[in-house]
DNA sequence: TCCGTTGCAATAATATAAGTTACAACAATA
DNA sequence: TATTGTTGTAACTTATATTATTGCAACGGA
């Protein structure tokens, strides 16, 4: 059990845009070739990133560009743009209210799991696109 | 996208055992009634908890008991007993090696995401079954 | 031997994600 | 204006993972 492609794919997309937007027109077909994911998934993800204000996508002519500086885009921004779930774990919906454990299990776990999710968000916020770009240029040097 | 029932269900099971093991024989049928999950799932989960050394299950006669003190069972123990995945996110398997981003995306993300997962484990380790039992008795008082 | 239970396998049902196809709308341009 | 390449969606299919269900052998005590 783990999170899906989405966030990593979105990061990949944004890195490609950051690297190539000055040289070429970054289309969903181009991105599809680098990420190796279907163009429609790319467009859907791009749409979520656009809705989150992270990128601009040219309507007819095509091509995506970053809307913010890489240092101002965090993994938390990206995560929240593409993942809609509020909870880290799926809790069983109908525990038995006649059982003291069943009656309280949600209350016991919810707060604590939300706290953990909050820490995860804090961690994601520490990583910016610029961090990754710097690391990338080190590796390609 | 989120983690499945498993961990919360396992926690529910262990709490029920802790609460009722002195009074009654805690069978998978009984647990099924409180958690509201199919008995076979209960037995499977119980099997994982047994393999992890957290509970003892009586073979023919039936009934489960804690094998360790509630203060010595952490949510991390439970999580690891029932979730086998190593990675938090599913990375795209075949990015394009001809693209500098595609060639390095795994290296860029893997370490950072593992660190985040490590923090999550640290958080889970801070919560013991005893913590939850104390909270539970406050709520039922 | 009978009974309730566990352990396990096989299968079905369900949910979610990803892939695929099709097509309207858009903007540049020949 | 027609053409071209692209985006934005919707509908459908496929793949995968999780949970539910059924069936049955094995176990241990009454």
Compute the distance between CA of residue B81 and CA of residue B53 in angstroms, rounded to an integer: 9
Compute the distance between CA of residue B35 and CA of residue A95 in angstroms, rounded to an integer: 5
Compute the distance between CA of residue A136 and CA of residue A71 in angstroms, rounded to an integer: 14
Question: Nearest by CB to A12, which of B105, B116, B120?
Answer: B105
Nucleotides of C under 7 A from a protein CB: 4-10, 16-22, 25-28
* Any strand C atom closer than 7 Å to B63 CB: yes
Q: What is the average pLDDT value for chain A, to the nearest integer? A: 94
The band of B86, judged by pLDDT with boundaries at 50, 70 and 90, is confident
Q: Which residue is closest to A120 within chain B, CA to CA?
A: B116
Å: B65 CA to D16 C1': 35
Q: Which residue is closest to A137 within chain B, CA to CA?
A: B100
Query: What ranges make up the beta strands (E) of A36-132?
Result: 55-57, 64-66
The interaxial angle of helices A100-126 and B129-140, nearest 10 deg, is 130
ipTM of the prediction: 0.90
* CATH top class, domain A6-140: mainly alpha
Per the structure block, which two tokens stand in for A138? 């080190």
Tens-digit pLDDT profile for residues A40-70: 999 999 999 999 999 999 988 989 999 999 9
Residue tagged 């003892």 (tokens): B56
């Amino acid at each position: 059990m783990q999170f899906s492609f989405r966030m990593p794919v979105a990061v990949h997309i944004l890195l490609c845009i950051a690297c190539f937007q000055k040289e070429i027109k970054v289309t969903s077909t181009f991105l599809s070739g680098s990420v190796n994911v279907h163009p429609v998934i790319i467009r859907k993800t791009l749409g979520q990133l656009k809705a989150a204000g992270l990128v601009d996508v040219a309507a007819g002519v095509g091509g995506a560009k970053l809307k913010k500086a890489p240092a101002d885009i965090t993994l938390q921004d990206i995560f929240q743009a593409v993942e809609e779930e509020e909870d880290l774990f799926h809790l069983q919906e109908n525990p038995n209210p006649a059982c003291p454990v069943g009656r309280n299990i949600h209350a016991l776990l919810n707060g604590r799991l939300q706290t953990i999710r909050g820490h995860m968000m804090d961690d994601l916020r520490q990583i910016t696109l610029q961090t990754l770009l710097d690391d990338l240029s080190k590796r390609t040097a």
